[in-house]
Amino acid sequence: MKFRSASQEKRDERFDSADRVIHIGFWLNAFLMIMKLAAGWFGKSEAVFADGLESACDFVAILSAMIALRICRKPFDREHPYGHGKAESLAAIIVALVILFTGSGIVWKAVHAIRTGPLETPAWVAVLAAFLTILIKETLYRYTVRVGNRLESPSVLAVAKDHRKDAVTSVATLAGVTGAFLGCKIMDPLAAILSAVFIFHIGWQTGRSALADLMDSSAPQELLDRVSAVAAGVAGVARVHEIRGRRSGQYLIVDLKLEMDPQMTVKQAHDIAAAVKRQLFERFSNLGDVMIHINPRDEEHEDLIRL
């Protein structure tokens, strides 16, 4: 059974929303990268320049998310019968690796500056660049995470976490560059190292979530319970015997085992299963597919599985 017309429009709307928020992040990130690299270089701030290098690395992360969404827009085909949603999780892994690599580079550069010296006093333009980054990136994070949560998109949420990482690290950068501007020069590279600690944490969280999706970890139980309740409420369904769910990008793929009257004809059972599927698609916009298996009610049956 295929739901193509209205559901295809909703599917396109979801990907259009994801594309829009990522493109906004891409161009704002370009502006911030140029601003921070210039302010860090001419303003003589290790922390702000490191922030600019971090924004440069973010291009790889955001670009990978844009490519992943382009791949995910493709409908299922013979070679990919479950769609192309895993591309989003792969993009999130790339984002996580970029985040971790960036953190390592910032630590190395800050430690090198402390060891080799002499440390310089940053200019006021470096302080201004750090402050503007906090305002822009925190606003961008809130907008992106709102869209990502609505779409339940791994790549959009990964980009949102990357924006939050920039906002958080820029707080440390602002504190460090301000302290150095006021005379405590070592605060500038120390702020860069503190920023890297936050970067490592966010990179780990992003990578762990994406790996869970790639390993077909179970969908949240609360969501599965709601899906089960809708299925059980359809006339003719005696009980939901079992439910499993896994993520494929923005979508959830669900396996349902339903108990029905053993005296039903195949046609009757099929019609009820179709009604269940239709109800679920209407209630849950993030459902990609629902596979339904029918068991006879109140009869012993063996579930065959080899996993």
| Cβ neighbours, 10 Å, residue 206 | 28
Is the pLDDT confidence value at 35 over 70?
yes
Question: Looking at the structure, do residues 198 and 249 belong to the same domain, yes or no?
Answer: no
pLDDT of residue 205: 79
Question: Looking at the structure, do residues 10 and 97 belong to the same domain, yes or no?
Answer: yes
275-304 pLDDT per residue, tens: 999 999 888 877 888 999 988 887 776 777
Quick check: is 306 in a domain? no
Q: What mean pLDDT comes out for the span 181-194? A: 79
Quick check: is 192 in a domain? yes
pLDDT of residue 270: 92
125 Cα distance to chain centroid: 33
Quick check: is 25 in a domain? yes
Pick the more confident residue, 16 or 108.
108
For the chain, the straight-line distance linking the first and the last C-alpha, in angstroms and rounded, comes to 27
The residues pairing with 179 across neighbouring beta strands, listed in sequence order, are: none
Pick the more confident residue, 195 or 268.
268
Quick check: is 109 in a domain? yes
Quick check: is 238 in a domain? yes
Domain boundary among 214, 248, 277: 214
Question: Looking at the structure, do residues 152 and 242 belong to the same domain, yes or no?
Answer: no
Top mean-pLDDT range of 28-37, 77-86, 213-222 = 28-37
Q: What mean pLDDT comes out for the span 173-198? A: 79
Tokens of 293: 């298996």
* Mean of all residue pLDDT scores within the chain: 79
Residue 247 phi, psi dihedral angles, 5° rounding: -90, 145
**Residue 97: closest CA among 64, 52, 51:** 64
Question: Looking at the structure, do residues 200 and 258 belong to the same domain, yes or no?
Answer: no
Question: Looking at the structure, do residues 110 and 256 belong to the same domain, yes or no?
Answer: no
Q: What mean pLDDT comes out for the span 178-205? A: 79
Question: Looking at the structure, do residues 250 and 185 belong to the same domain, yes or no?
Answer: no
242-280 pLDDT per residue, tens: 888 888 776 788 989 999 998 889 999 999 999 999 999
Is the pLDDT confidence value at 3 over 50?
no
277 with 290: CB under 8 angstroms? yes
Quick check: is 303 in a domain? no
pLDDT of residue 1: 47
Domain boundary among 161, 180, 214: 214
72 with 250: CB under 8 angstroms? yes
- Mapping DSSP to helix (H, G, I), strand (E, B) and coil, where does residue 184 land? coil
Q: Looking at residue 81, which CATH number applies to its domain?
A: 1.20.1510.10
Quick check: is 307 in a domain? no
Q: How many helical (H) and strand (E) elements, i.e. helices and strands, does the chain have?
A: 8, 3
Q: Which domain holds residue 225?
A: 221-296
> With pLDDT > 70 as the criterion, what percentage of the chain qualifies?
85
Question: Looking at the structure, do residues 74 and 134 belong to the same domain, yes or no?
Answer: yes
pLDDT of residue 9: 57
85 with 148: CB under 8 angstroms? no
Burial (Cβ within 10 Å: 0-12, 13-18, ≥19) of residue 20: exposed
44-87 pLDDT per residue, tens: 776 777 777 777 767 766 777 677 667 766 776 677 767 777 77
Q: What mean pLDDT comes out for the span 88-106? A: 79
